[in-house]
């Protein structure tokens, strides 16, 4: 079964306190679901139409594991803490074999 990658990009952080509360809950929820943080932070460089925005890359053993983690009660609690504190996008992508 191919691995999966959860990719988050942050277009705008509106409330640093809400982001901190989210991070405190999201990290453990994602790790409990089998997620492994591979990269997070601002890009060192962007190309073409790239926008310099905070990006997080998390590896899972499968698409199902990533979706199950996102839809879990623990991650829902993290999302509740974020409560509009950021404008972002999350994509779950299956790895190429």
Q: What is the mean pLDDT of residues 60-89?
A: 97
Level-2 CATH architecture, domain 4-44+58-94: 2-Layer Sandwich (3.30)
**pLDDT at 64 (0 to 100):** 97
**pLDDT at 36 (0 to 100):** 98
pLDDT in tens, 18-68: 999 999 999 999 999 999 999 999 999 999 988 899 999 999 999 999 999
* Token pair in block for residue 15: 């409330």
| Cβ neighbours for 46, distance < 8 A, ≥ 6 positions apart | 52
Q: What is the mean pLDDT of residues 85-95?
A: 97
> CA-to-CA distance for 75 and 27, rounded, in angstroms?
9
What is the domain partition of the chain in residue ranges? 4-44+58-94
> CA-to-CA distance for 86 and 89, rounded, in angstroms?
10
> CA-to-CA distance for 95 and 97, rounded, in angstroms?
6
> CA-to-CA distance for 13 and 19, rounded, in angstroms?
8
| 95 three-class SS | coil
**pLDDT at 1 (0 to 100):** 84
């Amino acid at each position: 079964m191919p691995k999966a990658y959860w990719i988050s990009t942050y277009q705008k952080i509106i409330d640093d306190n809400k982001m901190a509360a989210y991070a405190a809950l999201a990290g453990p929820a994602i790790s409990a679901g089998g997620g492994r943080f591979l990269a997070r932070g601002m890009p060192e460089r962007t190309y073409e139409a790239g926008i310099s925005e905070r990006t997080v890359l998390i590896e899972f053993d499968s698409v199902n594991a990533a979706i199950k983690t996102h839809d879990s009660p623990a991650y829902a609690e993290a999302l509740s803490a974020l409560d509009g504190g950021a404008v972002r996008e999350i994509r779950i992508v299956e790895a190429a074999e």
